[in-house]
Chain A
Amino acid sequence: MTSSLSLILIFISSLFFSGIVVRTKSIFSGRKGPGVFQPIKDILRLFKKGAVYSETSSFIFQIAPSIYFASIIMAILFIPFGNMPGLISFKGDFVFFAYALALGKFFMIIGAMDTGSSFEGMGAAREALYSMLVEPAFFILMGSLALFTGHTSFADIFASLHFGSHISYAIGVLATFVFIIIAMVENSRMPVDDPKTHLELTMIHEVMILDNSGFDLGLIMHAVNLKFAMYGAIIANFFLTPGYEWYFSIPIFIGAQVLFAIIVGTIESFEARFRMSHNSQFIFMLTSISLLIFLGVLLMLGKIV
């Protein structure tokens, strides 16, 4: 029962996450904005619809959204909640986590190529490039944490992660930052991608799903919410010091998710997005920050100096 707590909480946060982002943006632009549950209502509306498939696309295009959605559910199962492990947990599970997500993305990419549209091919190429650039940052970061704690599963890493020295605080802050940016890149948010744009030529994620409709589109859109909540959960885990009672940790978890959503909304309100060619540079920055974390871990363990 306790091990499914994180799944339940992530699911609950996914219901209001993008609503809070939209609401934050509305308030900053001087509008009232829709209610926080409007995005989820839109998705429910899509679930009631049938999908339209182009005659030129094959079964790949039809199965891609379901596989994408399933891959994210799969990944969420690994996320622990404080010292309670997720539903699935084994040594080295963060590698499986990363490639379960990659599998879903792979299907989205070939699904987009399957349509034969020149836009979607372009979007697929961009998505593949940015996901590839994010990967080293994620693995160096998780590797450093594994080295630091001496464990290789999400649950054990977060259960034994504790902050003692100044360097460990720095590592915590940097790791949170890297995860926020990874979440922004992976979910195609600003400043890398603009989810609100109507211009196919500048889109990354949105352009890949131009041909998806109805139920499939609903799946993809909810997958994005789940993914956001999932990264929010990982970030929240940095703050869930083990040993707290549930009535402390659940509010901390929800609070971290809400704060994360507000940060995303704020960045999107006051920044312009990057030029496409600057994106790779920006994502590479994550790798260098992860390397800093790695260095900090080495320092703390006394492996160097």
Chain B
Amino acid sequence: MNEYINIKNNQAIPLSSIPVLDYEKFMLINVDFLKDSAFHCVNYFGRVEDDNLRLCCCMANDKNATISVSSCVLSKFRELMLPSFSAQHFSFHIFEREIHENFGLKYSDHPWLKPVRYPFNGANKNSVIENYPFYRIDSEQLHEVGVGPIHAGIIEPGHFRFICNGEQILHLEIQLGYQHRGVENLFLQKKNLLQRNILAESIAGDTVVGHNTAFSNLWEGLCGFSAGNDLKLARTVALEMERTGIHTGDLSAICTDVAYQLGSSVFGRLRTPIINAMQVWCGNRLSKGLIRAFRNQYPLTRELADYLLNVLATYEPDFTEMYNRMKNLPSVLARLEKTGVVTSEQASSIGAVGMSARMCGIPRDIRASHPHDLYASFHHEPVLKHHGDVYSRTQVRKSEIMQSMAYIRNLLTNLPEVETREFSQTPETNAFIISLVEGWRGEICHCAMTDSSGELSLYKIKDPSMHNWLALALAVRNNEISDFPICNKSFNLSYCGHDL
């Protein structure tokens, strides 16, 4: 009997083909996968079926573009006390915390079993946002600084609890969950495809294209629809435009946080033409309404493509000039270099994805390892930096912007014919599918299961922030507390993407 089944990105398989193992075996093989650095855990979730808990673990193999899925069914799971995956490899911690929170599955040796997002139907009704068990150090010399959940800027809520020795941060604990909206449940309740598309756009307001592409690819995969090249082109170009726009905005924010006014205003100004181009394309600066399953709402015409190319042509010289000026300014470099270092070991132990992995030399990029849409048609080389500090994250952004612009130019040289393909709205019954997309922040993973009537019975979303918040907490250790904002900005993680 197989211990796991290998599937491709966006490939629907029958639920029955996922091997069911006993817990010891299930844990052994999944932890063993991680001994090979090509593997990482993309999703690990639970679902209650007839009073049994089915755990399902998806491990992505970056070398051969497969995802190894295995599962385990636990009966009378509420009374069980199990050894945790996290004790073996810490990258499972957030998934096990979620399972514990939702279903009350107890772990005997989980190192950090804290609430994630306080769902209203969670297992432990006493676990509320007010009584989060913060880590404490009893000492006369140390002091605690609590920041949030109301943010000084206008971004989202989250509470940060620092334990400091004077100006130096010893420990940071990040408490999220304030934004929990029950998005995964809403996916099951809203039966209309348009509603689901709009829901996917609202998972994280800064990753509209990313999450919506993940959902659309997943839904098309479930319905056995294969997208035409024009549809794939629109999604690929939109993803790269979103990456360019957000990265530019982040560079501006990084400059703001080190009080470098010139960079802050010039990068801020440069972001505008990019997002305005999205408005010209689809009528919304955040690309809402651009991506829809089965349909190419706003096909790229030659005229539109030339407009986009023109926007990039005027953007690039200004961007390069500003970036060069910034990277040659000692006072800026003094703030960015060696600030907020995450080592490669730390990043792989917490399972960091996307930019947060690539800034310290881990080549984790769905565009290269599990290509979707048009990424399969060209060779994508992930941008890698090695120091893991704020400056590396800045450099990754810059290089990715340049790369994105090159891709957009290439993709827009030959526009495919707009084709309308037949599609059926009936998803496969009793199926499982996983959809991975490399958003600007990193790997977005959507998983779905359907029941015997073809209705969604499970929808799991994993934003890259799920893994990466911990990277921020590690990055600021032993740094000055006044460097926290710049570290935070250099990761720019999503609150609502984590809280769902």
Q: Which A residues are within 8 Å of any B CB, using their own CB?
A: 25, 28-31, 118-119, 121-122, 125, 190-191, 194, 196-202, 268-278
CA distance A29 to B263 in the complex (A): 9
- Distance between Cα atoms of A269 and B147 in the complex (Å): 29
A201 touching B481 by the CB < 8 A rule? yes
Name the distance in Å between B174's Cβ and chain A's nearest Cβ: 14
B152 interface residue per 8 A CB criterion:
yes
Is B331 part of the contact surface with A, judged by Cβ < 8 Å? Answer: yes
Closest residue of chain B to A273, judged by CB? B259
Distance between Cα atoms of A87 and B481 in the complex (Å):
44
- Chosen A-B contacts, 25 in total, with CB atoms closer than 8 Å, are A30-B265, A122-B481, A191-B331, A194-B259, A196-B261, A197-B256, A199-B152, A200-B152, A201-B484, A201-B485, A202-B257, A202-B482, A269-B262, A271-B331, A272-B255, A272-B329, A272-B335, A273-B259, A273-B331, A274-B331, A274-B334, A275-B483, A276-B167, A276-B482, A277-B167
Q: Are B485 and A202 interface neighbours, CB within 8 A?
A: yes
Residues in A neighbouring B260, C-beta threshold 8 A:
271-272
The answer on a CB contact under 8 Å between A29 and B265 is: yes
CB closest residue in chain A, given B153: A198
Q: Looking at the assembled complex, report how far the CB atom of A204 sits from the nearest CB atom of chain B, in whole angstroms.
A: 9
**Most chain A beta-carbon neighbours within 10 Å: one of B153, B259, B339:** B259
Interface string of B234-262 (1 = CB under 8 A from A): 00000000000000000000011111111
A275 x B146 contact (CB < 8 A)? no
Interface size class of B (residues with CB under 8 A): 20 to 34
For A270, list chain B residues within 8 Å (CB). Answer: 261-262, 329
Q: Contact: B145 with A268, CB < 8 Å?
A: no
Query: Which residues in B have their C-beta under 8 angstroms from that of A200?
Result: 147, 152
Q: From A278, which residue of chain B is reached at the shortest CB distance?
A: B334
Task: Say whether A197 contacts B259, CB under 8 Å.
Answer: yes
Known contacts A190-B259, A201-B147, A274-B334; 8 additional CB pairs below 8 A are A29-B265, A118-B143, A121-B143, A122-B145, A202-B257, A272-B334, A272-B335, A276-B167
How far, in whole Å, are A25 and B335 apart by their CA atoms in the complex?
21
Chain B, 3-46, CB within 8 A of any chain A CB: none
Inter-chain contacts of A31 with B (CB < 8 A):
265
Residues of B within 8 Å of A190, CB to CB, are: 259
Cβ-closest 7 pairs across A and B? A194-B259, A29-B265, A272-B260, A272-B258, A273-B259, A199-B485, A276-B482
The chain A residue sitting closest to B164, CB to CB, is A122
A275 shortest CB reach to chain B, Å: 6
Among A202, A272, A277: residue with most chain B CB under 10 A: A272
Name the A residues within 8 Å of B421 (CB-CB).
Answer: none
Of chain A, the residue at the smallest CB distance from B255 is A272
Interface 0/1 of B462-500, CB less than 8 Å to A: 000000000000000000111111000000000000000
Q: In the complex, what residue of chain B is closest to A210 when comparing beta carbons?
A: B152
Nearest chain-B residue to A269 (Cβ)?
A: B261
- Is B113's beta carbon under 8 Å from chain A? no
Complex Cα distance A213/B144, Å? 26
Q: Are A272 and B259 in contact (CB under 8 A)?
A: yes
Nearest B residue to A194 by beta-carbon distance?
Answer: B259
Contacts of B262 in A (CB 8 A): 28-29, 269-270
Interface check B63, CB cutoff 8 A:
no
B328-349: CB near A (< 8 Å → 1, else 0) gives 0101101100010000000000
Distance in angstroms between the alpha carbons of A69 and B245 in the assembled complex: 46
Asked whether B269 is an interface residue with its Cβ less than 8 Å from the other chain, the reply is yes
Give every chain A residue within 8 A of B261 (Cβ-Cβ): 25, 28-29, 196, 268-270
Chain B residues, CB < 8 A from A199? 152-153, 257, 485
A29 to B481, CA, bound (A): 28
Q: Taking CB as reference atom, which chain B residue is nearest A29?
A: B265
A118–B144 touching, CB < 8 Å: yes
How far, in Å, is A30 (CB) from chain B's closest CB?
6
Specify the chain A residue showing the minimal Cβ separation from B325. A270
Complex Cα distance A271/B256, Å? 11
A269 to B262, CA, bound (A): 6
Say yes or no: A275-B152 contact (C-beta < 8 A), given A28-B262, A29-B261: no
